[in-house]
């Protein structure tokens, strides 16, 4: 007997269409799309021959092209096949001029009523001529492929005489206004694709970022550092003092954290016997957002067995100088900052000065002549630091506060600030000189350029007993939350880690320096 069958009606509400579907421009372009399809043209073909970039065409032929339009029409000038986004178009009788744009720049082209054809268009069946199709059915923002021959216009502008035009992608939304451009920074950061189309400066800066990362990798590998990858999801976060992002591992119903540093995992690899390791990876800190901080950012961390912080100091200087010389042919950078101009020189060696010496040199404060109470009084009077925080701070933190408040922004040229208080640095070796060791000084330096921290380096602590004591002190100082000790890391150190130096370099800040970006958001492809 046949069973009755029942179907459940689909009651899932449809998602509302986005606002731009109501815009006249979107609707007009959508209508053109249907017309293009009705002509038998595929508006989204699978591929097109890869041709030279527009800038390379211009560089190759700008000073070596004496051909006129007649030569190009007859095919007697250099043949070009390339593609780009249509950013300018104007009809002029039997000819039409336009510009296409790619990641490198722009180039002019010319279509002709008699000689230009549109790939896929049959003028007889479609009852529309190729030039009229280009004028009426294409829009600024469409991506096109063009094949033709080069010539110079009467104004000596290099131009492609188009013999074949292929529609590669019909765009349904308009480009930003060509005169006002894309000025709203919020839109530029959120819709980076529009920023890249509208602002060549953004395109060049972000391409430069990728070049800088490649140069860093090449430099590390040329010095026999092995690139590795370490976990982003961690059961215990550590390696820095920062608030983590939390999530849940559903398979184990277990809380997990996004890493706040690369340090712990990389040191475990030193214990395992890898002598030089590095990683360029994302770090996540659930903290503030400003011109030099983004909750998600990129760090280079590297560790070298049998090095100390002095070895790493030379290595870092040479890395920065090498990148600058490769990019610009020199180690000097001309920096424009608000109403001031600087010439930053990355030539090695850089200035080396201890934290205490820098406070004395730049702020005229001799901390060795002041007790803790005097430092607290000065900080309460001259800064906005929390009195409660100052009252509970140990001497090392008070000295660090003095440096941050009175010295940092004065360090314009490259400075290595060495020999930090142990209270600020739980993973660092005590100073090898007895007097500094007894004063609680560790072998650490931070590098500052243009008043911004760029580099952090330690002679790495490999004493498991002292490491446990320092991690315990750090945990106890964090009264506002539980800060677990990473027993897995301490166990690894107990197996024996060789003496080593470790470095952390903020890739985003390095790119900011080399591209003169005013905000970290300018050098991130997709900032928060």
**Domain covering 25-175, topology:** OB fold (Dihydrolipoamide Acetyltransferase, E2P) (2.40.50)
**Are 312 and 500 contacting, i.e. CB atoms less than 8 angstroms apart?**
no
Tokens of 244: 């983590």
Q: Is pLDDT of 4 > 60?
A: no
Task: Give the domain ranges of the chain.
Answer: 25-175, 200-350+413-523
- For residues 272-301, average pLDDT: 94
Q: Per-residue pLDDT tens for 401-449?
A: 999 999 999 999 999 999 999 988 878 999 999 999 999 999 999 999 9
pTM of the model: 0.89
Using pLDDT thresholds of 50, 70 and 90, give the confidence band for residue 180: low
Q: Which residues of 64-101 are buried (b: 16+ CB within 10 A; e: fewer)?
A: ebebebebbbeeebbebbbbbbbbebebeeebbbbbbb
Using pLDDT thresholds of 50, 70 and 90, give the confidence band for residue 1: very low
**Nearest CA-CA partner of 206 in 218, 216, 225, 193:** 193
Element holding 513 (H helix, E strand)? helix 507-515
DSSP 526: S
**Domain covering 200-350+413-523, topology:** BirA Bifunctional Protein; domain 2 (3.30.930)
Q: Per-residue pLDDT tens for 205-233?
A: 999 999 999 999 999 999 999 999 999 99
């Amino acid at each position: 007997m046949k069973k009755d069958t029942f179907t459940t009606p689909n009651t899932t509400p449809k998602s509302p269409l986005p606002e731009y579907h109501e815009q006249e421009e979107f609707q007009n372009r959508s209508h053109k799309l249907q017309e293009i399809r009705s002509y038998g043209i595929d508006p989204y073909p699978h591929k097109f021959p890869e041709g030279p970039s527009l800038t390379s065409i211009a560089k190759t032929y700008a000073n070596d092209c004496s051909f006129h339009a007649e030569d190009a029409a007859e095919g007697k000038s250099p043949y070009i096949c390339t593609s780009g986004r249509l950013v300018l178009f104007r009809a002029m009788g039997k000819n039409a001029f336009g510009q296409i744009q790619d990641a490198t720049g722009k180039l002019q082209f010319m279509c002709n009523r008699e000689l230009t054809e549109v790939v896929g268009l049959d003028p007889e069946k479609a009852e529309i001529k190729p030039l009229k199709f280009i004028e009426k059915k294409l829009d600024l923002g469409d991506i096109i492929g063009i094949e033709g021959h080069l010539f110079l216009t009467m104004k000596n502008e290099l131009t492609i005489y188009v013999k074949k035009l292929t529609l590669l992608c019909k765009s349904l939304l308009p480009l930003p206004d060509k005169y006002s451009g894309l000025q709203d920074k919020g839109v530029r950061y959120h819709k980076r694709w529009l920023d890249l189309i509208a602002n060549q400066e953004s395109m060049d800066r972000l391409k430069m970022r990728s070049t800088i990362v490649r140069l860093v990798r090449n430099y590390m590998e040329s010095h026999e550092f092995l690139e590795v990858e370490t976990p982003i999801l961690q059961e215990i976060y550590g390696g820095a003092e920062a608030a983590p992002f939390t999530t849940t591992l559903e398979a184990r119903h277990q809380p997990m954290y996004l890493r706040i540093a690369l340090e712990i995992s990389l040191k475990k690899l030193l214990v395992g016997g890898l002598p030089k390791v590095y990683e360029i990876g994302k770090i996540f800190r659930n903290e503030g957002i400003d011109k030099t901080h983004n909750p998600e950012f990129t760090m280079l961390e590297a560790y070298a067995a049998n090095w100390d912080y002095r070895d790493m100091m030379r290595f870092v200087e040479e890395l920065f100088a090498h990148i600058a010389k490769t990019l610009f042919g020199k180690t000097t950078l001309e920096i424009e900052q608000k109403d001031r101009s600087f010439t930053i020189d990355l030539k090695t060696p850089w200035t080396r000065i201890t934290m205490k010496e820098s406070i004395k040199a730049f702020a005229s404060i001799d901390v060795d002549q002041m007790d803790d109470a005097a430092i607290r009084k000065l900080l309460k009077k001259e800064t906005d630091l929390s009195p409660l925080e100052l009252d509970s701070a140990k001497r090392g933190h008070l000295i660090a506060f003095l440096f941050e408040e009175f010295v940092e922004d004065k360090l314009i040229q490259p400075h290595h600030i060495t020999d930090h208080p142990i209270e600020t640095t739980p993973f660092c070796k005590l100073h090898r000189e007895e007097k500094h060791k007894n004063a609680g000084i560790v072998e650490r330096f931070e590098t500052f350029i243009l008043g911004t921290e760029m580099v952090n380096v330690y002679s790495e602590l490999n004493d498991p007993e002292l490491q446990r004591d320092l991690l315990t002190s750090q945990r106890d100082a964090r009264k506002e939350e539980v800060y677990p000790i990473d027993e897995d890391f301490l166990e690894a150190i107990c197996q024996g880690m060789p003496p080593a130096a470790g470095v952390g370099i903020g890739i985003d800040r390095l790119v900011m320096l080399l591209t003169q970006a005013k905000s970290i958001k300018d050098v991130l492809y997709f900032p928060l």
